[in-house]
């Protein structure tokens, strides 16, 4: 039989982790295009050839290790990291449907090998890890 990773490829599906990251990036697009409230005040300056980059909120230098870990795993940090990993040709798209199609193609071009008990893995499978 096929292992989990091979089944994902055969069925043309993304892992739960990859789908979650795709959702985060789609939400970042909505923030950038004022389609939802930007309570975190994430800014999206155009950086020229590398495209529109998200600037994340600064971390307090006095926080504990646990707080820093929670901060690093929060939407306020992961959203901009994932957004900033996109090629300029994708993050500059203004049409929502075109953006989603390009994003899906970009994500599917990367290996998708989520952590599975009993299988060796090369990294944590985040889009960021594969780039």
Crossing angle of the two packed helices 65-72 and 75-84, in degrees rounded to 10: 50
pLDDT band, residue 51 (cuts 50/70/90): very high
Average pLDDT value for the chain? 90
In DSSP notation, 78-120 reads: HHHHHHHTS-HHHHT---HHHHHHHHHHHHHHS------TT--
Residue 36 — very low, low, confident or very high, per pLDDT cuts 50/70/90?
Answer: very high
Backbone phi, then psi, for 113, in 5-degree steps? -125, 75
Go through 47-75 and write b for each residue having 16 or more CB atoms within 10 A of its CB, e for each that does not: eeeebbbbebeeeeeeeeeeeeeeeeeee
């Amino acid at each position: 039989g096929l292992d989990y990773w091979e089944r994902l490829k055969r069925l043309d599906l993304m892992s739960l982790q990859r789908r979650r990251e795709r959702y985060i990036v789609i939400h970042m697009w909505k923030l950038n295009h004022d389609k939802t409230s930007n309570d975190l005040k994430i800014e999206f300056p155009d950086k020229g050839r590398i495209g529109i980059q998200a600037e994340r909120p600064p971390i307090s230098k006095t926080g504990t290790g646990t707080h820093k870990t929670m901060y690093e795993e929060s939407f306020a940090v992961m959203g901009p990291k994932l957004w900033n990993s996109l090629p300029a040709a994708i993050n500059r798209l203004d049409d929502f449907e075109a953006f989603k199609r390009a994003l899906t193609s970009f994500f599917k071009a990367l290996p998708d090998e989520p952590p599975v008990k009993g299988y060796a893995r090369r990294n944590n499978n985040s889009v960021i890890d594969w780039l």
